[in-house]
Amino acid sequence: MLASLAKLDTTVALLGTSAAVEIAVRLLVASACGMLIGFEREMRAKEAGVRTHFLVSFGSALFMIISTYGFLATAGVPGIRGADQARIAAQIVSGIGFIGAGTIMVNRGNITGLTTAAGLWVAAGIGMAVGSGLYFLGLLATVMVLAGLEILRIFFHKTRLTSFVAFRTTHRRAIAAVEEGLKKSGCHAVCTDVTVEKTDGGDEFRVKMTLQRYASMSDAALVSFFRKFPNVTLDKIDSNN
């Protein structure tokens, strides 16, 4: 990579100031597009937020610029294999899967993080587009992604979604009370897993619950619901939106 950056510097020197400005603009635009998508994900309290999407989009644009300009100095030199500009792009497409896979979680058949992983994949594509000089494509894709995420969220607002909830309590009867309260609120506990841990104060029950709930009931409303139980401590809420 360092060798490629050195070649990039040589190319900029050969092409002049206009090339340096063009490269800087591409990196800035790609960064802004990635940050916009990341902001939307961070507002939903997802695993990957502004910084992660910024780095993915910026890195993709950087590699595309290296792929485009980094090997011009050796173009046409006898005995040196010609550069394939699509080779680095192909590696970005396959390599981004490792980052996206880190945001996907599976718990007893409940899968979360797929939307965030797909967002990282798209952010890489946007970075590649801007890095190769396709500004209109990158900006249009960013607007469409943001609009699509928001429109689909509103469209599915009245449908049911799956949530993973983890909480703990020192009173076994509180678990039944939570389940009864969730049922009255329109939630259905698909699966409840209870483990008991010994503490100095007695038994502590750690509960992992998979819920089916209406999307109109926000995560904030679910947090407020659990706060009504003085003997219950909510540890985590993870929804598939």
Mean pLDDT to the nearest integer, 103-115:
62
Answer yes or no: are the C-beta atoms of 83 and 4 closer than 8 Å.
no
Greater confidence (101 vs 1) lies with 101
For 80, residues 6+ apart whose C-beta sits below 8 A from its C-beta are 74
Mean pLDDT to the nearest integer, 123-145:
89
Average pLDDT, the chain: 77
pTM equals: 0.57
- On the question of pLDDT at 82 being above 60, the answer is no
The whole-angstrom separation of Cα 136 and Cα 26 is: 12
Place 95 in a pLDDT band, splitting at 50, 70 and 90. Answer: confident
| Domains in the chain: boundaries | 2-157, 159-239
Mean pLDDT to the nearest integer, 137-144:
90
The whole-angstrom separation of Cα 59 and Cα 56 is: 5
The whole-angstrom separation of Cα 88 and Cα 53 is: 19
Place 219 in a pLDDT band, splitting at 50, 70 and 90. Answer: confident
Mean pLDDT to the nearest integer, 172-177:
87
- On the question of pLDDT at 85 being above 70, the answer is no
CA distances in angstroms from 211 to 86, 107, 177, 193, 214, listed in the order given: 45, 12, 15, 12, 10
Pick the CATH number of 159-239 from 3.30.1490.20, 3.30.70.260, 3.30.70.141, 3.40.50.880: 3.30.70.260
Of how many residues is the chain composed? 241
Mean pLDDT to the nearest integer, 199-211:
83
- On the question of pLDDT at 109 being above 60, the answer is no
Place 218 in a pLDDT band, splitting at 50, 70 and 90. Answer: confident
> What string of H, E and C letters represents the secondary structure of 144-197?
HHHHHHHHHHHHHHHCEEEEEEEEEECCHHHHHHHHHHHHHCCCEEEEEEEEEE
Model pLDDT, residue 197: 85
Model pLDDT, residue 28: 92
Greater confidence (36 vs 237) lies with 36
Model pLDDT, residue 5: 47
- On the question of pLDDT at 6 being above 60, the answer is no
- Give SS3 for 103: coil
- On the question of pLDDT at 2 being above 50, the answer is no
Mean pLDDT to the nearest integer, 111-115:
69
Model pLDDT, residue 29: 92
Model pLDDT, residue 223: 83
Model pLDDT, residue 240: 60
